[in-house]
Amino acid sequence: MTTNNNDSTTSFDDLPVEVATEIFTRLPVKTLIRSTSVCKTWYSNITNPTFISAHIQHSLSCVNQTAILVIPLKYNKSCSLISAHTGQVFKNYKIPFTTKNGTVKLVASLSGVLSFNAFPVDEFGVPVVEDYQELYLWNPSVGKYKALFSSCFKKRGEGEFTYGVGLGVHESSYDFRVVRVVCCKVGKLRPKVEVYSLRTNKWRKIRNPGVPRVAYNCGVPVGNSMVYWLERNRGMSCFEEGYVVYFDFSREVFGQIKLPDDVCKCVGLRAEFTLMNFEGKLAVCVYDEAKERNGMKLLPCCIWLMSHEDGKVSWTPRFKVVLREHACLFRLSRSGALLMLSASGSVQGLVSCDLNSQDLRLTKPLVTEPCSVDPSFVESLLMLEGRDELLKSASS
């Protein structure tokens, strides 16, 4: 855009840097991708990590609070951004890769980047213990993916290995990273840890990681640089000690937080625990086995939020409800919808209930087929640079 005034010409490039950046941060991802081809300066500014971070923060401030990303477990070439309340489809994204066994499961997500593994099944199609050796990173907004099949650990030790996976950002460099904890179920081998850097496109070992406890599941990110796993000592009895294990991507250290007795005893004798991210804080959802009352199945459920200020950890009860039908709880949307998978009863599939309105009835399912869900999806420019590739070679 140019303006002629007394034979002078003014262009977009004449704007102060702060003003130009403010304009760019308000543009959608597709527009910014097209803008990178205008000139080298625009390309450099848009792909700058500082700008990408600022653009994500602005996108989060105006994101649709009801939107959730639904990924079918059985590969069908696409996933959908839908309303957690009505099931209305906002947008579809084509999945650009195919896993070895034709299944995909979301194992972690952060700032618009999704991490998948192939959902392992046996010869009869029955799910088996997960192994996070076959990992994929994908940003639907920019259409780029990486298949991370390599590892620093070329040989496995004795026994069957399991993995804990988490996503985070090294804040000083704004380098997007993946952490993978490799644990041995048999023998006395200590957990091993490796970190993948999007910037270097390599895995590297963490020397003497000092993993305090073993977590066999996917990590829940809070903020950019912290990821948390839930670890139970033995079984799922509510009166046994529970711990939250965390990894700090900026300092590359592990730690642990003990769940207080109030959290462990708030429901019943055989409660189950799930970690979530809600209102920008770590949340632990505790729910009991389904009980019968007057011929109706009930599922007591409590959700606690963690605060970590001035070096002190505190837990505050956020919701305490009784659901009317049994379902597997696993996510909270930004708008306060509790997302569940129901495999029996009057409603089957992905269902939600609005905790803020206390409407706890399970209504028409949002999705009827098995799926995984990202309730915090936001469009971002991460992974814009580079190309789709299969990372095979292991680094030392």
pLDDT for 298 beyond 80: no
Residue 284 · residue 321 · CB < 8 Å: no
pLDDT greater at residue 219 or residue 271 = 219
Domain ranges of the chain: 10-47, 57-384
pLDDT score, position 212: 82
The encoded tokens of residue 52 equal 């990408």
Q: What was the pLDDT predicted at 112? A: 95
pTM (2 d.p.): 0.86
Whether pLDDT at 253 is above 90: yes
CATH 2.120.10 fits 57-384, yes or no: yes
| Average of per-residue pLDDT values in the chain | 80
When pLDDT is cut at 50, 70 and 90, the band that residue 358 belongs to is low
Between these two residues, 251 and 185, which has the higher pLDDT value? 251
| pLDDT of residue 393 exceeding 50 | no
Residue 19: predicted pLDDT = 86
- By percentage, how much of the chain surpasses pLDDT 90? 32
Cα–Cα distances (Å) from 22 to 39, 183, 202, 207, 324, in that order, read 18, 46, 33, 41, 48
Short-list 64, 67, 112, CA closest to 85: 67
Please report the pLDDT score of residue 236 as a whole number. 45
Tell me the average pLDDT across 214-236: 76
List pLDDT tens digits, range 104-120: 888 889 999 999 887 66
Per-residue model confidence as pLDDT tens digits over 5-16: 555 676 777 778
- Model confidence band, residue 370 (pLDDT cutoffs 50, 70, 90): confident
Q: Which of 100-114, 218-232, 341-355 has the lowest mean pLDDT?
A: 341-355
DSSP for 301-314, please give it.
Answer: EEEEEEEEETTEEE
> At how many degrees (to 10) do helices 17-25 and 49-61 cross?
50
